Amino acid sequence: KYEEAMQQYQKALEIQLKALGPEHSSTAGTYHEIGNVLYYQGKYEKAMQQYQKALEIEMKVYGRGHASTLTTCYEIGNVLCNLGKYKEATQQYQTVLEIESKLYGPEHPSTADTRHEIGNALCKQGVYEAAMQQYQKALEIKLK
């Protein structure tokens, strides 16, 4: 039902742009959700465009250290991985991890998830020892 979801999000976006403007947090959220629909359809380039729109608004509205901004940054890392841009994805996830660690603490479950994704991206680059370190740390956090 991706097409149906996309139609609903497009309608919502149209209304939000008129009623709330292009730099409202709700507008950013809808761009993010459109990005999700595209991502799950395997339309990674188009998803990236939507995530970038969401991120631009979130940076203005919330700043770098907000949960919504981090989620969008994380999704951008996922897109980069799916596009085979593993080095860029690793850098993106590292940025997310740095902020998450400050925001939630280094032992938070979100940091474990991000470390796992860093491990995946490193593994795809053939950097197996560093990947294993990330997986190990993620597991330690999850087991606490």
Helices (H), the chain: 2-19, 25-40, 44-61, 67-82, 86-104, 109-124, 128-143
| Helix, strand or coil, per DSSP, at residue 20 | coil
What share of the chain in percent tops pLDDT 90? Answer: 99
pLDDT score of 7: 97
Q: What is the pTM of this model?
A: 0.94
Segment 84-133, tens digit of pLDDT? 999 999 999 999 999 999 999 999 999 999 999 999 999 999 999 999 99
Residue 20 pLDDT > 90: yes
d(CA 95, CA 28): 20
Confidence of residue 144 (pLDDT cuts 50, 70, 90): confident
Q: Mean pLDDT throughout 9-19?
A: 97
Length of the chain counted residue by residue: 144
